[in-house]
Each structure stands twice: as structure tokens, then as C-alpha cells.
Structure 1
Amino acid sequence: MKTWKGIVGVSTAAVLLLGGCGKSDVSSKMDRDKTVTIGVTQIVEHPSLDAAYKGFQKGVKDGGVQHVDFKYKVAQGEQTNSVSIAKTFVGDKVDLIFANATPSAQHAANATKRIPIVFTSVTDPVGAKLVKSLEAPGTNVTGTTDTHPEAIPKTVEFIGKEIKAKSVGLLYNKGEQNSVVQIEKVKQELKKYNVKAVEATVAKSADVKQAAASLVGRADAFYVVTDNTVVSTLPSVISVAESKKIPLFVGELDSVKKGGFAAYGFDYYDIGYQAGKMAAKILKDGKKPSDLPVEFPKKLKLVINKKAAAAMNVKLNPKWNSIAEYID
């Protein structure tokens, strides 16, 4: 979800590498006096994903795993890099893989059926073929989803009832499975309010600004879900929204901070923390990923950016004070 400067490998909080740990069964308990190695694969740099990783580290420690060597690598938004990172971790026989975002989780799951994988920032774990079901994953993979069941319905309701838009521009990369799932949900919800969906798809970040511009005159509002490609170049969408006075709704709170008008969201740090606690159960307590249900975000809130509202010519309604948090 962010522009890349390079694959980053960072090792923290450890000096010992536990040889052969990755060979052990995923349900075996760790020796609490030894250092465990966690391979961290993240598809792009982005404040939300970065916050999830920080939360994950804290969750692991709070879960009782004190001696950890985090091997952190980022794929620059490139699928081939992500595949390579996953294969490297498998070759290194890490004790656990933390996959941050859907593509990273898919590539890790394709690379190993033995090493436990804990994901976060994944929209549809079942649709992505990471788990058999949310309640009983049934594989070496589990984690936390970044989909709150009420986020899209509440966003669309606000667009229909409060903004009173008759058409909404949906900008996304149809090659991202997580985005396709969200867009289908958005379109279903829009029908409830007789709001027309106008789509513009992209294949790469360079396409985003032109695609956003193509929606001008056809959409009363924009809605960008948590699409890695579009969010990586969100400023280009914001510039179109501001220049044409079109309210821009986004899929997560960091995009509101960057200049989106509003979002129903949660803190990615929290779902990362939840994932970290799950990883600790696997590493410390010998739990199997297959037996740990996928978890949802526990909190949801509406956040509105006042400066963005002014730039996009949205008049703030006093009644929103009771349902929203504001940032300047």
C-alpha cells in the first residue's frame, strides 16, 4: 500500500538463531530459554501495515515469548519479491511466518504446509484459500482479518443517507482478490440506497490518477477500499477529489489522516496485536494454527478529516458529532 525504496531486512531483539526449529511440528512447544525466529513478510510499506507489525511484536512479547529474532522483509508491492521472501523463510527454517497482507499470506501458504503462518491485514481468508473456514482454519495458517462486518455497510449508509450521493466511484485493482471481495460487498450495499456504482480499475499504481480523473462527472463521491495499489498512490486520488470537490471515502483510518474525507475503521495496531497473541499461543503453548479461529477487529469507529471536508466542499453536520471522531 506504499511506495517502495527497497526490500528491508531488519533483525531485532535477538542474538541467537535456533537451528532446526522450523523442522519441529507446528504444535510443539518452544524451549522458553531459547530464541525463536519469526519471518515477517509484508507486501508494501504503509502506515496501517507498519502499525500492524508493531502490534504483532508487542502481542508476541505480551503472550510470553520473550526471546525473538524478527526477520522483517518487504516486497515493494511486487508479487515476485513476495514469493521469493516466502521461499527464503522456508529455506531458513524459521519457527513461524507472520504474513502482513493478503498477497504475503498467500505466497507464504503456497511455500509451506508445515511452518505455522499467522496473518493479519487479510480481507477474506477463506476466499484467499488460506483457511478452510474462519471458525476452524484446518491448515497451518490462521490470523486476524482486517474486515469488520459493519465497516462497509456503515460507510455506504453514510454515503447514501448523509452525503445523499446518487453515484459512487469505485477505484481498485481487479487483480487484488481482497479488493474484488470488498467491491462486491460495496455494490450490494449501494443497491439498498439506490446509489449507482461507477467502476474504474487499474493494473498498476501509475494508472491510478488517470482512473480517478475518469470518474469525474460520473460520480458524486469516491470510495477507495483497502486496495494496495490505489492506496499506495492515494495522494493522486486526493488531488482529483479536492480539485473537483468530490468527497473521498476510504477504507482505513490512516488514509483519513493522509487526506481522505472519512472512514469507518479500526487501528491496525490492534489486529496486529491480536495476531501476535495468537503466534505466542502457537510458539509458547504448542497450539496448532488449525485449531485457532480467525479473529475479527474488535473495535470500529467513524473518523472524519475536517481539512479534507473543507477541501472537498463537504459541510459538516452538527449531528455527526455524536457518531464521529474528528481530526484536523
Structure 2
Amino acid sequence: MKKRFFSMFMVSLMAGAMMIGCGDKTTDGKDAKTEVASDGQTYKVGIIQYVDDASLNQIVDSLEKQLDVLAEEKGVTFEYEDYYCNGQADSTTINQMVSELINDEVDILVPIATPTAMICQAATEDNQIPVVFAAVSDPEGAGLVASNDAPGSNVTGTSDALNTEAVLDLMIEQDRDLSKVGLLYDKSQDASAAPIAAAKEYLDAKGIDYVEKTGTTNDEVMLAADALIAADVEAVFTPTDNTIMTAELGIYEKFIEAGIPHYCGADSFALNGAYLGYGVNYATLGTETANMVAEILVDGKDPATLPVKVLDNGTATVNTDTAEALGLDYEKLRDLCDGFVEIQTAEEFE
């Protein structure tokens, strides 16, 4: 998968001012798509990625590929290369990028992850540009839609809502004597709030102690991981948290050395070294997001009446390298999952 990079920076030597731009990127040796389809209309699709991590990169890659497929099928052109931005988890930067895309008169905004979706929602309250988000774990809780079934605004999209109980069932099945669990997350990530609350309720009901540690930067996450190890937790749970995801390659070996399996809310965590990821297929989520974009732009559907697409949970992804290093037999988990995938440690999905 192509690696995503931050949008261009231009530094003025006279004023010392920084200008942040979107797009103007090429992919796999191809120039940005600028030609109008010979038999149809051209639509500008603004894509705003929250941060680089394996999950979000996979979503964007699948989204763009499906837009190309749909463009050919429907006889239109989706321009996205010049309207792609990566905010690198900086809200000020993301706000500037969204404003730039609106000034570029994009036809639709596609924010990837909850923080970017909330910024796009605020930026389109007056102009009502359609917004189709991707990978928002709790659209209602974040205030993005009135309900998943009837959004009632210019905002809809796809959700990667996590079945927290199912993840923790796998954790307990793996270790029936489990007595203390670490909860590792970023308290500023809205996507983590509901699953962490659900995890606490679940563990309380099971009589299992838990220790919470949080971080908002890679360095803080590293310290939080060290603190959980020092607290003698026997397993760690992380929901679909982008901050922890970006730090996973830096912490997974710590947990392995301590003999602690890390259970997470996405397959990308397992790709980056965690023992087990559970949740949606992010390639499918990107495809479904593109389908919704086409429904609105080409088919004329109103986002206010287009239900949020909630993908099915049920696929566990086990890192076999990590399982071997921890001495864990994961075969007994297969029957508890709708899907089961074995994977080895890598930085990006192929």
C-alpha cells in the first residue's frame, strides 16, 4: 500500500508564514486525475485523513480504488488526487485543510475517523456540503447524526463500531484465570469512550480488576505501556483508537517481553504486532464509503435520509509471530468468531 504523507508545506522567507495545501500528489506513478470523463460529469471528492496508520491508510486505498471502479461503471469522473489531505492528528491543520477544500468547491467531503468528521460537520453547517465519513465508531455519540437509521442532516457515512464484549470474551477464553486487565487508550479520542465504558462494565461484572493508562502522544503511550507492565496486568485491551494504533509498532515488543497479550479493536493492530485484533474489515469499509459517495453525487440521494452503514463485527486477526513469542495457543478462539485471519508483523497491509 502506498504510504501517505502530510500535505505540502511552503515557507515564505520574507514573511515566515506557512501555507498548508492539499492534493497535488501522484500515486503509483500516475498523475492526478484531472481529465473529465468523456460521457459524464466530474465530481470533486475531498478526502481528509486524520493520521497515518495501517487502518486509515487501508481505508483510503480501498476508497480510491472503488471510486475508480464506480467512475468507469457510471461514466463519470471522481477527482480526488488533488483534494486529498492528511492532518497528522493536528486539529488546527485539519480545520485549515477543510477550509481549503471548501474554497476549492469540492462536491463532497470524506473525512476518515471521528475527529475529522466532527470538523467537517462544523464546517458545513451553513453551506450544507455533503459529508460522508468513514470509520466513525459512534456517530450518534459524537453528535454527527441524529440516529444511524435517519441521519437527518448533510452528514452520513460508515461506522466501525466495536463489539467490545466479543473482544473480551476472546481474552477470557484465552486465559480462564485472568484477574487483572490493562485498558490502554487516548482519553481525547471520542471513538474510545463508549468501548472503554463497556469494557469497565464487562470486567466489573466478571469480578476482574483493571488498570487504566492513557496517552495522547507516542511518548505518552510508551510510558503508559510501561506503567501497565509495572502494574502486572495479564492482558491489555485497546479499542479502535488511532493514537494507540500509531504507536503500536513502538509498544508491541514491550508487551511481548512482559508476556502480556494485547487485544485490540482492529486488524491493523495485529498487523503492527499486537496479539489479536477484532472488528470490521477496513478494506470493505473503504469500499462501502465510496459506494455511499457515488449514491449521493451520481444517484442524487440525500445524505439526510441515507442510513449510516454499520459493518458487521466478527473477524479476529491473530498475529502468529506474537502468538508464538507469547506461547499462546489461539486455535481455541476460532469457534468464537465469524471470521479468523492469521497475519505476521508488518508496517502496512499489502
Q: 1:37 aligns with which of 44, 65, 77?
A: 44
In 1, Cα distance between equivalents of 2:296 and 2:39: 13
Q: CA deviation at 1:54?
A: 2.2
Whether contact under 8 Å (2:278, 2:313) holds in the other structure is no
Partner of 2:342: 326
| Contact 1:263 1:303 (C-alpha < 8 Å) held by counterparts | yes
The 1:32/1:223 distance shift into structure 2, 3 A limit, reads: farther
Matched, 1:238 2:252: yes
**In structure 2, do the counterparts of structure 1 residues 181 and 32 end up closer, same or farther at CA, with 3 Å as the change threshold?**
farther
Amino acid at match of 2:63: F
Q: Aligned letter for 2:77? A: H
Q: Residue 283 of structure 1: which of 297, 319, 322 is its match?
A: 297
Q: Residue 66 of structure 1 aligns with which residue?
A: 76
Task: Supply the distance in 2 between the matched residues of 1:4 and 1:34 (Cα, whole angstroms).
Answer: 28
Letter of the 2:76 partner, please give it.
Q
1:139-162 CA deviation, whole Å, 9 max, x = no partner? 1000000114xx311111111232
| In 1: Cα distance, 2:76 partner to 2:63 partner | 13
Q: State the AA in 2 paired with 1:230.
A: I
Contact 1:261 1:309 in 2 (8 A): yes
SS at match of 1:233: helix
CA 1:69–1:201 in 2, change beyond 3 Å: closer, same or farther?
same
Tell me if structure 1 keeps the 8 A contact 2:41–2:76: no
Return closer, same or farther for 1:318/1:267 CA change in 2, 3 Å cut-off.
closer
1:240-259 equivalence runs, <5 A: 240-259=254-273
2:348 maps to: none
| Partner deviation per Cα, 1:221-241 (whole Å, 9 max, x = no partner) | 011222121211112321220
- Report the Cα offset of residue 79 of structure 1: 1.1
Deviation at 1:172, TM superposition (A): 1.2
Alpha-carbon deviation of 1:267?
A: 1.6
CA RMSD of aligned residues (A): 2.3
Q: Does 1:171 align with 2:181?
A: no
Distance apart, 1:65 and its partner CA: 6.2
Report matched runs for 1:37-56 at 5 Å.
37-56=44-63
Percent sequence identity is 28
1:238-265 deviation digits (Å, cap 9, x = unpaired): 1220121111112111111111101222
Partner SS, residue 131 of structure 1: coil
Unaligned runs of 5+ in 2: 9-22, 345-350
Per the alignment, residue 81 of structure 1 pairs with 93
Give the corresponding residue for 1:211: 224
Cα drift, residue 286 of structure 1:
0.9
The equivalent residue for 2:33 is 14
Quote how far apart the aligned CAs of 1:173 are.
1.3
Q: CA 1:232 to 1:192, structure 2 compared with 1: closer, same or farther past 3 Å?
A: same
Instruction: Provide closer, same or farther for how the CA distance between residues 69 and 296 of structure 1 changes in structure 2, counting only shifts above 3 A.
Output: same
Distance 1:32 1:129, change over 3 A: farther
Aligned to 2:314: 300
Of residues 3-12 and 206-215 in structure 1, the stretch that sits farther from structure 2 once superposed is 3-12
Against the structure 1 CA distance between its residues 285 and 32, is the aligned structure 2 distance closer, same or farther, given a 3 Å change threshold? Answer: farther
Q: 1:123, CA displacement in angstroms? A: 0.8
CA separation in 1, counterparts of 2:89 and 2:75? 30
Q: Residue 183 of structure 2: SS of its match in structure 1?
A: strand
Task: Please state whether the residue corresponding to 1:121 is helix, strand or coil.
Answer: coil
Structural mapping, 1:94-173, within 5 Å = 94-113=106-125, 114-148=128-162, 151-164=163-176, 165-173=178-186
**Structure 2 length normalisation: TM-score?**
0.82
CA distance in 1, matches of 2:132, 2:39: 20
CA positional deviation for 1:135: 0.6
Change (3 A) 1:245 1:36: same
Structure 1 gaps of 5+ residues are 19-30
Asked which structure has the greater RCO (Cα within 8 Å, sep 6+), the reply is 1
- Between 1:295-304 and 1:266-275, the stretch displaced more is 295-304
Structure 1 residues 317 and 85: alpha-carbon distance in aligned structure 2, compared to 1, 3 A threshold: closer
Residue in structure 2 matched with residue 24 of structure 1 by the alignment: none
Pick aligned residue for 2:210 from 179, 193, 197: 197
Q: CA deviation at 1:321?
A: 4.7
Is the CA contact 1:51–1:272 (under 8 Å) kept in the aligned structure 2? Answer: yes
Q: Which runs of 4+ in 1 moved over 4 A?
A: none
CA contact 2:264–2:276 (8 Å) conserved in 1: yes
Contact 1:249-1:262 at 8 Å conserved across structures = yes
